[in-house]
Amino acid sequence: MRLAKKIAIFGTILLCSLLSKPAYAANKTISSVTIKVNSDLSIGDRTDNLSINYGSSSGGDINVYTTSDRFNIADAEITSGRSSLNIGDEVKMKITLEANSDYSFKGTYSSSNISVNGGKFLSSSKKNGDLVVNIKLNPLKGTYEAPEDVEWKDSGIGIAKWDEPSETSGYYELILLRGSTQVTRVENYKGSNYNFRNDMTQKGTYKFRIRTVSHGDKDYGRHSEWITSDEFYLDASNVSTGNNNVTTQVGSGVGWNKSGDTWYFRFPDGSLKTNGWEYIADKWYLFDDAGRMLTGWQKVEGEYYYMNSYGHMTTGWQQSNGKWYYMNAEVPRGKMLSNTWLHSSDGKYYYLDSNGAMCEGWTQISGNWYYFYPGSGYMATNTTVDSFRLGANGAWVR
């Protein structure tokens, strides 16, 4: 009986040992993983329209596969990236790997034991025995499109302008030519216009060349072809002294930028406001052809305006060099009034002479003599000044 029990116990142990061996064989650990990706992507492709094939090396816009017999690709999907692809974009994907029979994934993996051909490993995690791997594809390579509508701007001298193409880095290289002679080269410029005025120090026929260039993506973004503008002739009277163009010295931020003691205003496309009026935050400002904000007295189309120290166009009374002037508060707004009567809201009358200055003291107007109180400038009426009688209309009663 005792011998039979021993035999039974030994048999049980032997059976358990035999049964445990297949379980041990089914848990071979996958120590390293290699995922292969090839893609046929083009600039302008939409990520939501791409076909993904997993399990083989062909058949889709993006193909995810492996040559390992230890696991297979169970799923693959795009997790991020632009809806419309551009040069340099790196499409991110989530790849789900399923271990084949007799194998299992270990607890954690890193870039040292997960290799991605055609992309880069980002992270991994286990889910229900599967291994989920996050990757990003290699940056999309391509050639940038050339700028469009390349020409000289109508307003201002020497301002090059162009339209940005849809496939652009946003950066450009420009060359200014006088005849066939290169005058200057501008590299890695961001914007859609550039002021060459400072470089036009000799008379002659000018044109410029421009191309889109890579910026921070030199390994996969290729320059566009060169585009050449039309020509224009600069005569001697318009030759620059070399101090007109300050574009490259001004900050690149959108909105107000200061260089030295001068203010400039930059638009979202990178260009500076130049050569005229601009309405900004409920104020009118005036800029010259180099983009400098103007202050003080300014003559525009034969009319005078006064821009205060903040660059605001002033309206109403304005004192300058000890004299008072009136800047029209109505249309044409801001224009200095001259040779005219001004009737204020409090019923008082003033007269602005041919220079726009408010009259003070005795003044002859259209053959009549009037008296305007010094300092305040309003016209005296129904009173006697220096023993001379002034009537209801302010004129001296002879």
> For the chain, what are the domain ranges?
28-137, 142-234, 256-390
pLDDT of residue 7: 46
CA dihedral 60, 66, 72, 78 (to 10 degrees): -40
318 - beta bridge partners? Answer: 325
212 - beta bridge partners? Answer: 172
pLDDT digits (tens, 9 = 90+) for 98-147: 999 889 999 889 889 999 999 999 999 999 999 999 999 988 888 889 99
**DSSP percent split of the chain into helix, strand, coil, nearest 5:** 10, 45, 45
For residue 13 the two structure tokens come to: 């142990």
Q: Pinpoint the alpha helices (H) of the chain.
A: 2-25
pLDDT of residue 294: 93
pLDDT of residue 244: 52
For residue 65 the two structure tokens come to: 């596969």
* CATH architecture assigned to 256-390: Ribbon (2.10)
Peptide bond preceding 147 in cis form (omega within 30 of 0)? no
CA-wise closest residue to 132 among 102, 163, 155, 99: 99
**Is 256-390 the same fold as 142-234?**
no
pLDDT of residue 377: 94
Residue carrying the six token digits 């040992």: 17
- Give me the CATH topology for the region 142-234: Immunoglobulin-like (2.60.40)
| Spatial distance between the Cα atoms of 149 and 163, rounded to a whole number of angstroms | 6
Q: How far is CA 129 from CA 34, 70, 96, in A?
A: 18, 14, 11
pLDDT of residue 175: 96
User: Which residue ranges in the chain fall short of pLDDT 70?
Assistant: 1-26, 81-82, 216-219, 242-252
In this structure, the chain runs to a length of 398
